Structure 1
Amino acid sequence: MSCMFACSRRFGEGGLAKSAIHVSSIGGVERGYKVVVCRGCEEPSCEAACPTGALVKRKDGGVILNSSKCIGCGNCLRACPIGAVMWDYEMNKPIICVHCGYCTNYCPYGVLILAR
């Protein structure tokens, strides 16, 4: 979970509440873990679901949030087919990976990479 803590630190947070990546067990050490993070869709369903244009498609896939346009409707959260839109309950806005690669520096197992 060090990658999750690293991601939250991007926002100056010490916990996991602002992490754009989620790692969870799929059955203990024997079965492994799953990582849920934005895969940088070429045609992001979260962007299409946003009624205000708050999500803007990135050149290399995925989206960037224009927070001032976001009304907190949650359409993007429900539209993501892999559940990679996390939610900031304090701000009532989505948290979506910006593909900065910061988390990759904190994965002790080398599982995470940032492909460009």
Structure 2
Amino acid sequence: MAKILHAKYMAKCIGCYSCMLACARVIRHSFSLSKSAIQIRTAGGLQSRFLADICRGCLDPACARACHCGALLPRSGGGVKFIPDKCMGCQDCVDACVVKTIRFDHESNKPVICIQCGTCTRFCPHQVITMEEREDGR
């Protein structure tokens, strides 16, 4: 069964951005946090918690439906597979994302999109983000 990202332990997050750096470095070959598909941010205020903006791994991803060039394909178990060579840079996937976690990289003319690979989970020092099997129908 396919696994998807979960961030249910955000109370343990220390805001080290290791997950973001790992995603940007391994997937996008960049040291820029802006190239990460996962974004860690504060909820606001001096003593607030951290929040994770992550792909929810939709079973019927709107971003894939909006992609007319075949660069985004529904992934078994939820989320999408991204084929960069097919991407035309139209940004339709950015507009279609229901949780607004897809951003567009104007340097590469490609979306910054989570592929549910789990790289971020391997580099989180407190196991805040995990890969979990999706329960049927969720």
In structure 1, stretches of 5+ residues that fail to align are none
- Counterpart AA for 1:7: C
Matched, 1:80 2:90: no
* Secondary structure in 2 matching 1:103: helix
Contact 1:4 1:21 in 2 (8 A): yes
* Aligned with 2:41 (options 10, 24, 39): 24
TM superposition outliers: structure 1 runs of 4+ over 6 Å? none
CA RMSD of aligned residues (A): 1.5
Deviations 1:2-55 (A, max 9, x none): 110111111321221321111111114632111111111001000111122211
Question: For 2:111, which of 68, 84, 94 is the aligned residue?
Answer: 94
State TM-score, norm by structure 1.
0.90
Structure 2 length-normalised TM: 0.77
Report 1 or 2 for greater relative contact order, CA contacts < 8 Å, sequence distance ≥ 6. Answer: 2
Identity of aligned residues (%): 42
Q: Which runs of 5+ in 2 are unaligned?
A: 1-16, 134-138
What residue is the counterpart of 2:22 in the other structure? Answer: 6
SS in 2 for 1:35: strand
Aligned residues: 116
Distance 2:18 2:24 in 1: 10
